[in-house]
Structure 1
Amino acid sequence: MQFIFAARRGRRVLQRFNKLQQTATLSTRVPLATSHVQHVFRTAENRAAPLIKTGNYTLERFTTVQKYHYSAAATDKPRKGPKETEGSKKKDTKAKKPKKTKKTKKEVTPEQMEKKKAAQKKVKLRKEIKDLKLQSLRKEEPRSQTLRPWIVFIREKVRGTTSLDESRSRFQTAAEEYRNLSASEREALERQTAATMQERNRIYAEWVNSHTPLQIKTANRARRRLAFLTAEHRKNTLKYPAIKDDRLVKMPTSSYIFFSRERMQSGDLDHLSTQEKRERVHTEWAAASEQEKQPYSQKAAEDKERYVREYREVYGEDPRSSSNAKSKTASSA
């Protein structure tokens, strides 16, 4: 009997529930599953009296739970957790950054250090040579080579050859033709060579005068340095000849040079060879006293004053020797 009463009570509850669903809006309607029916029957069997007493309150509570559960299930969207703030994100990114590890210095062997120094020295030398070539004015310098009549004749005959064999055959033929030239033809060739050299000298003089004496002096100094740096890689050191300019200041003459000139021009050493003359002059100078050297030292001092005066007038600056002397006297004072 109790089971029958419980079933009746459960049926009543379901009827009320269905009415409530019909009166609710379409968005809140939720289909009733069999599991919930069983749950209702169990509650009706076990809690018949409290359900009858409380009535609508229990049904309303039950329907709100159903709405929440089935509305979330119908959307098939996962439930979102708490929103992350900007501060939390920043903290997470900071926490994820790996710690910086200190780089350990690699030990360098003496051989590696020597190789590194040698490479740096090569780079420095290459840069110095490049700068010196710009200062030397070598690229823009016109030709100043001395010409000979036979060189002009052979160049005219060999010009236009495309192969080595052809140039050799033409050279041999031109040499034979030059030997068989008549006197009038040789004179005409000499006049042609002299005219060519005169034109070359004119062009060269114009180029030299287009630069200041200080630029020419700097170019000659750069050429001397280039000849010294590149002497190991080539046998001929005449690749960088000095620029000829009459405006350049002549270097001062030493007391030994004045003595040597006087002894060579005296005629006392004419019976000796050049090497023997030099050895004799060197021996006499070493054996001379300070009183005997005094006239030559006086000439050297006067010539040095001339050099300093002309250096300032031509180049517009003091020579290195005088500037170094001034700095030494200033530091000592």
Structure 2
Amino acid sequence: MLSSTGLAAARRVRVIGMRSVFSSIARISTRSAACPKVRASVRIAAVFNRGFAAAASRSATKTATATATRKTTTTTKKPAAKTTTAARQKKKASSTKKPTAKKAAPKKKTVPKKTGRLKKTVKEVPENVKLFRKVKELKAKALLNEQPRGLPARSWLVFVQKNGGVPKGQTATEFMSAMKKQFAALSSVEKQALQDEARANKVRNDAALINWITTYPVETIEAANLARSHLKRLGKTAKLSLPDPRRPKGLLSPYIIFTTQRMKSGDLDNIPPTARVAAIGSEWRALSETERQPFYEAAEKDKERYKVERASLSPSP
């Protein structure tokens, strides 16, 4: 049995041999005129043999070259495999090497994250709103609502209170106009009785007010008086300051002491009050420093009196 290569070579020999036979026949036919005649069978057999020999030699050379090329490819492939194994070993060696320590990157500065909340825009408060809040605060300090309501301290108010309120079916203006007419028609005796009752009510009101004031500390009453004076300047109240008997009298200046002495002397009684004050001021400016010295000493004594009275106040309840 031939191998696949042998079968392929035999096929080539057959084909090549047949081609050589036909070509030789053609050459013989061209030369037949000059050469002696030879039998056709002999000529065909000779040509066939030559072609077969040439084809056999050609196939042998081809097989020899094929085997040689195979051997060279196998020999050349072996070192390639060696190189691949060497490369693998190099890769393993490189993988087993210790990794070099990388330089630490510089730390970035931590920037605080911005929150999504927007800053609230502060709206400007209108002046009327500021005034309203200020008045409300001052009224709370002034103790206006806490102050007790007193009895009517005027004869007219006593007369209106006795006649009751506004009757049904009549307006306040109509009622007040009728009361004025009736009050004007009263006799002197009736009006005197109303006045006496009003004075008695005032005494009761003062006593009740003092009792109510003493329930608060002295500092609270002083703050209430300051708030009331502020409200008066703003035109928001007409109530008087609270008379606190526990509070010491204010400090006296040298000029006040001089003025009180001049008022008590009686030398300026025949002069009107406005002219009297102007005359006292001109006299004070005309005094020398030695003449003013006694008044300065009196003012220092009054300051000591104020300190003692202030320290002797009872503690806040």
TM-score tier, shorter chain, comes to 0.5 to 0.7
1:159 match: 165
| Per-residue deviation, residues 60-99 of structure 1 (Å, max 9, x unmatched) | xxxxxxxxxxxxxxxxxxxxxxxxxxxxxxxxxxxxxxx9
Does residue 136 in structure 1 map to residue 142 in structure 2?
yes
Please say if residues 251 and 307 of structure 1, whose CA atoms lie closer than 8 Å, have aligned partners that are also in contact.
Answer: yes
Deviation at 1:314, TM superposition (A): 1.5
Q: CA deviation at 1:138?
A: 1.2
Q: TM-score, normalised by structure 2?
A: 0.53
The CA RMSD measured in Å over matched residues stands at 3.6
Instruction: Give the distance between the partners of 1:306 and 1:239, measured in 2 at CA.
Output: 33
What is residue 91 of structure 1 aligned with on the other side?
none
- Change beyond 3 A, Cα 1:315–1:292: farther
The one of the two structures with greater contact order (alpha-carbon pairs below 8 A, sep at least 6) is 2
Q: For the residues of structure 2 that align with 1:305 and 1:263, how far apart are their CA atoms?
A: 24
Partners of 2:183 and 2:118 lie apart in 1 by 78
* Letter paired with 1:309: V
Query: CA separation of 1:238/1:104 partners in 2, compared to 1, >3 Å: closer, same or farther?
Result: closer
Pair member with larger Rg:
2
1:177 counterpart = 2:182: yes
Alignment-derived partner of residue 36 in structure 1: none
Contact 2:249 2:306 in 1 (8 A): yes
- Letter aligned with residue 153 of structure 1: F
Taking the aligned partners of 2:117 and 2:312, their CA distance within structure 1 comes to 61
After the TM superposition, which residues 217-256 of structure 1 pair with which residues of structure 2 at under 5 Å, given as runs? 217-228=222-233, 231=234, 234=235, 239-256=238-255
Distance 1:288 1:144, change over 3 A: farther
Residue 312 of structure 1 aligns with which residue? Answer: 311
Give the TM-score normalised by the residue count of structure 1.
0.51
**Residue matched to 1:211:** 216
Shift of 1:195: 4.2
Distance 1:289 1:167, change over 3 A: same
Runs of 4+ off more than 4 Å:
99-105, 120-128
Matched, 1:148 2:147: no
CA offset at residue 259 of structure 1? 0.7
Q: Tell me how far apart the structure 2 counterparts of residues 183 and 133 of structure 1 sit (CA, whole Å).
A: 41
Distance 1:204 1:170 in 2: 31
State the aligned residue count.
Answer: 203
For 1:266 and 1:300, the matched residues in 2 are separated by 19
Change (3 A) 1:189 1:248: same
Paired residues of 1:154 and 1:175 also in contact (CA < 8 A): no
The alignment partner of 2:312 has SS state of helix
Contact 2:141 2:223 in 1 (8 A): yes
Q: Paired residue for 1:287?
A: 286
Extract unaligned runs of 5+ from structure 1.
Answer: 1-98, 318-333
Cα distance in 2 for residues equivalent to 1:145 and 1:226: 24
